[in-house]
């Protein structure tokens, strides 16, 4: 093998190793980006859950007698507004209400509308939002 062939072989090997290293670095950066998106999503969900629980507190404390609305401080130091309006009750159904929470975080405003129902047979769970016998049965988050 001549000296020029050795130079070409070393150069080609260096190029292959360099491209491989750059590909590993890009894959690593993509993995970190995906992990950060997951963390942000879970953090936003937990803030929303906490805001719903906090908003339900005064309503449940009054035994679900009166409609409530107000402003509370969020976990991250911001504020959110809430409104709870009772639904008409028939003699065959348990009391329920509509809960609306508006959160503004990092310049994004979210409105969470939830249906809360009094239920004597509540089940435990990590994502169950409950205060006393009142439980969030369904919710919808809209981003403005």
pLDDT for the residue numbered 112: 92
Residues whose CB falls within 8 Å of the CB of residue 71, separated by 6 or more in sequence, listed in order:
79, 80, 81, 82
Give tens-digit pLDDT for 49-96. Answer: 888 888 888 888 887 777 888 888 877 777 889 999 888 877 777 888
pTM score, whole prediction: 0.73
The closest alpha carbon to 101, from 62, 40, 47, belongs to 47
Residues whose CB falls within 8 Å of the CB of residue 89, separated by 6 or more in sequence, listed in order:
95, 96
């Amino acid at each position: 093998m001549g000296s020029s062939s050795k130079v070409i072989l070393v150069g080609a090997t260096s190029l292959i190793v360099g491209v491989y290293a750059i590909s590993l670095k890009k894959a690593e950066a993509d993995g970190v980006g995906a992990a950060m998106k997951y963390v942000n999503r879970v953090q936003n969900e937990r803030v929303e859950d906490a805001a719903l629980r906090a908003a339900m507190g005064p309503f449940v404390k009054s035994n679900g007698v009166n409609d409530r609305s107000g402003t509370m401080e969020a976990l991250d130091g911001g504020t959110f507004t809430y409104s709870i309006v009772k639904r008409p009750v028939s003699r065959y159904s348990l009391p329920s209400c509509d809960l609306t929470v508006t959160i503004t975080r990092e310049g994004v405003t979210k409105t969470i509308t939830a249906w809360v129902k009094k239920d004597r047979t509540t089940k435990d769970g990590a994502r169950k939002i409950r205060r006393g016998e009142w439980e969030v049965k369904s919710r919808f988050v809209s981003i403005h």
